[in-house]
């Protein structure tokens, strides 16, 4: 596990990068311990960049019928908001452990900041990420694909968002598809949405590495999450 502190404030954010896939149960335990320490004033905020082995997670709104292939990969109760999602190699998972006691106790503003962070990061690679009312995550228009049954432009999901708060400290966060096996998403109805597909940076024709994405996420973080007033 590599650690990189990119903040120069009195309350620096610790950036943690795991080089190898992290088992989900391990990640959940470490994340919950860090959140408790942040809430107690015993640790700094942290952003954890990692990958998981292939698995499905069920959010608090997950519907049983959306788990199409229950025996394909391990399924974990995530206890975050949202429905079913897939994690696996080639997908950058970003666990965001920030203290909203310092940053404003506004869940909607926090989710909007996460969306903006992803959109700004994608823009660095020439991708126009968009959000849609009633559809969580970040979407990419695909005009080169055949239109949908209603004639609308097809849209694919490139990033998922699911958070949880404990004592106003966030955990879980976002996932961005760099080069995962997109067929693995077929074992679920991703986020409960069956009318649209999923895509990745490489699927869109961009030879982006995980390191490229990490650098862009770091570069755009301060815009989305300015240093809170002390």
CATH for 117: 3.30.930.10
CA dist 66 and 190 (Å) reads 8
Q: Does residue 41 lie within any of the structural domains?
A: yes
Q: Does residue 77 lie within any of the structural domains?
A: yes
Q: Does residue 6 lie within any of the structural domains?
A: no
CA dist 91 and 105 (Å) reads 29
CA 30 to chain centre: 17
| Nearest partner of 174 among 68, 81, 71, 106, judged by Cα | 81
Binding-site members for substrate are 80-87, 160-162, 173-175
Q: Which domain holds residue 147?
A: 14-224
Q: Does residue 9 lie within any of the structural domains?
A: no
- Tally of domains in the chain: 1
Binding-site members are 80-87, 160-162, 173-175
The whole-number pLDDT of residue 192 equals: 55
Q: Which of 13, 22, 127, 191 is catalytic?
A: 191
Q: Does residue 7 lie within any of the structural domains?
A: no
Helices (H) and strands (E) in the chain, counts: 4, 12
Q: Does residue 52 lie within any of the structural domains?
A: yes
Low-confidence spans in the chain with pLDDT less than 70: 1-11, 190-195, 229-230
Q: Does residue 5 lie within any of the structural domains?
A: no
The whole-number pLDDT of residue 12 equals: 87
The whole-number pLDDT of residue 135 equals: 81
191 is catalytic: yes
The whole-number pLDDT of residue 6 equals: 39
Coil, strand or helix: which one is 180?
coil
The whole-number pLDDT of residue 63 equals: 87
pTM exceeds 0.85, yes or no: yes
Q: Does residue 4 lie within any of the structural domains?
A: no
């Amino acid at each position: 596990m590599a650690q990189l502190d990119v903040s120069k404030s009195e309350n620096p954010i610790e950036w943690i990068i795991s080089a190898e896939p992290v088992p989900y149960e391990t990640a959940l335990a470490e994340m919950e311990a860090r959140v408790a320490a942040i809430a107690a004033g015993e640790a700094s905020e942290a952003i954890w960049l990692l990958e998981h082995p292939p698995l499905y997670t069920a959010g608090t709104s997950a519907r049983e019928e959306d788990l199409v292939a229950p025996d394909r990969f391990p399924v974990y109760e995530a206890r975050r908001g949202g429905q079913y999602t897939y994690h696996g190699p080639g997908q950058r998972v970003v666990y965001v452990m920030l203290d909203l006691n310092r940053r404003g106790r506004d869940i909607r503003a926090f989710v909007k900041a996460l969306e903006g962070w992803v959109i700004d990061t994608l823009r660095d690679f020439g991708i126009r990420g968009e959000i849609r009312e009633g559809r969580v995550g970040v979407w990419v228009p695909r005009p080169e694909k055949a239109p949908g049954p209603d004639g609308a432009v097809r849209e694919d999901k490139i990033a998922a968002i699911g958070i949880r708060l404990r004592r106003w400290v966030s955990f879980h966060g976002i996932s961005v598809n760099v080069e995962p096996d997109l067929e693995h998403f077929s074992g679920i109805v991703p986020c409960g949405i069956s009318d649209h597909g999923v895509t990745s940076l490489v699927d869109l024709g961009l030879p982006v590495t995980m390191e490229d994405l990490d650098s862009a996420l770091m570069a755009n973080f301060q815009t989305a999450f300015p240093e809170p007033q002390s």
